[in-house]
């Protein structure tokens, strides 16, 4: 494996290029340049081999997922992505070929999302490989989307489809043997390569009453909105949008509904909007060519509770018992 400074010069410096403020990675830090009237949004996420991705996953897809999960956090606040820092602790099995694939994945994502590597750090670890990425975005001053701003009567929406990534992990682990190859491949791709809604996020400014991205599972992340807004949320399980592949998996294994609702790694946006703005949400969905599906509503918290709660109901409005509420690291 290349030495540290050779690694930076040959592989990572080209990711910075001559973008303003990067100093081509030759300085101790970088300048993040904002336009007048903008303010920065900063987020950081880590991925650990064997926890957030499988040891045999292609390095290109690991890099792409690492960047995309951070861009999803920016989108959840309505911010347009600008650049990122990378801190990488490479395990003993990482060689030059793996690193070249990893950097190629980052380069592809930079072209797709218009971001630049601003700097970072690289080191060795006995394992497992641990990767941390800090992303910077820009949003009009004072207009960032928040979690604590829902209002009673708001409708809840999600983008895209839910549960694909959780089912994709099960497919990769051989837990869905009855699923056909095309459906399995689709679900696995959704696990390995999330779709950050970087266009939708900024488009929700002034429309959404509260927003976050779904990383820990629909129910668990809805609970974050409920708790921060101190309101109750009701989610209609039958309204949650599913891909054809997910529907096929549930047809084989109806018991996987809990995994769909709580499994995590969706990286779709969950947001509230006033009931009077349904037509605007529908128009935005049509303009972006992206499904925005109403999955529930916001109500006043029940008397005697300290914070909001999430109630999941079936098609008849009856409480739906769930074995788990979502992913947790601890």
Task: Give the lowest-confidence range in 28-42, 122-136, 174-188, 243-257.
Answer: 28-42
| Per-residue pLDDT tens over the stretch 135-183 | 999 999 999 999 999 999 999 999 999 999 999 999 999 999 999 999 9
> In this model, does residue 330 exceed pLDDT 50?
no
> In this model, does residue 122 exceed pLDDT 50?
yes
Supply the pLDDT for residue 326.
58
3-state secondary structure (DSSP) of residue 29 = coil
| Per-residue pLDDT tens over the stretch 251-292 | 999 999 999 999 999 999 999 999 999 999 999 999 999 999
Task: Write the DSSP string, 83-100.
Answer: EEEEEEEE-TT--HHHHH
Half-sphere exposure of 287 (CA within 13 A, CB side): 10
Residue 196 to residues 1, 65, 69, 175, 265, Cα–Cα distance (Å): 32, 10, 7, 26, 11
Supply the pLDDT for residue 169.
94
- The set of long-range contacts for 245-249, using a CB threshold of 8 Å and a minimum separation of 24, is 245/164, 245/167, 245/179, 245/182, 245/183, 245/184, 245/186, 245/187, 246/161, 246/162, 246/163, 246/164, 246/167, 246/187, 248/179, 248/180, 248/183, 249/167, 249/170, 249/171, 249/176, 249/179, 249/183, 249/187
Supply the pLDDT for residue 1.
67
- Indicate the domain borders of the chain: 4-140, 155-313
Fold of 155-313: Phosphoribosyl-aminoimidazole Synthetase; Chain A, domain 2 (3.90.650)
Share above pLDDT 70 across residues of the chain, in percent, rounded to a whole number = 96
Average pLDDT, integer, range 312-321? 89
Q: Is the peptide bond before 128 cis (omega within 30 degrees of 0)?
A: yes
Q: Distance between alpha carbon 244 and the CA centroid of its chain, in Å?
A: 21
| Domain pair 4-140 / 155-313, same fold | no
| Per-residue pLDDT tens over the stretch 64-113 | 999 999 999 999 999 999 999 999 999 999 999 999 999 999 999 999 99
For the chain, give the mean pLDDT.
Answer: 92
What is the CATH architecture assignment of 4-140?
2-Layer Sandwich (3.30)
Supply the pLDDT for residue 325.
63
Q: Distance between alpha carbon 128 and the CA centroid of its chain, in Å?
A: 23
Task: Write the DSSP string, 63-86.
Answer: HHHHHHHHHHHHHHTTPEEEEEEE
Average pLDDT, integer, range 198-210? 98
């Amino acid at each position: 494996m290349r030495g540290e400074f050779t690694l930076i010069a040959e592989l990572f410096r080209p990711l910075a290029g001559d973008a303003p403020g990067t100093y081509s990675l030759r300085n101790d830090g970088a300048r993040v340049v904002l336009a007048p009237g903008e303010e920065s949004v900063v987020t950081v996420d880590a991925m650990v081999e064997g926890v957030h991705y499988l040891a045999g996953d292609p390095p290109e897809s690991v890099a792409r997922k690492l960047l995309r999960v951070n861009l999803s956090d920016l989108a959840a606040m309505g911010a347009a992505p600008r650049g990122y820092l990378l801190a990488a602790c490479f395990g003993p099995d990482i060689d030059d070929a793996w690193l070249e694939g990893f950097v190629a994945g980052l380069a592809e994502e930079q072209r797709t999302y218009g971001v630049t590597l601003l700097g970072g750090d690289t080191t060795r670890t006995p394992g497992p490989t641990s990767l941390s990425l800090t992303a910077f975005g820009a949003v009009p001053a004072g207009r960032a989307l928040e979690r604590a701003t829902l209002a009673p009567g708001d409708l809840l929406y999600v983008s895209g489809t839910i549960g694909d990534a959780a089912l994709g992990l099960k497919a990769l682990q051989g837990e869905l043997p009855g699923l056909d190859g095309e459906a399995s491949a689709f679900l696995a791709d959704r696990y390995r390569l999330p779709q950050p809604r970087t266009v939708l996020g900024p488009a929700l400014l002034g429309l959404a009453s509260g927003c976050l991205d779904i990383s820990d599972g629909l129910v668990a992340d809805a609970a974050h909105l409920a708790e921060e807004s101190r309101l109750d949320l009701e989610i209609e399980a039958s309204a949650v949008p599913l891909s054809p592949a997910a529907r096929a998996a549930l047809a084989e294994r109806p018991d996987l509904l809990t995994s769909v609702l709580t499994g995590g790694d969706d990286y779709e946006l969950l947001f509230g909007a006033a009931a009077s703005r349904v037509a605007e949400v529908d128009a935005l969905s049509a303009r972006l060519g992206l499904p925005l599906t109403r999955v529930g509503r916001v109500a006043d918290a029940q008397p005697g509770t300290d914070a909001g709660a999430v109630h999941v109901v079936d098609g008849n409005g009856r409480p739906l018992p769930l074995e788990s509420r979502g992913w947790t690291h601890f």
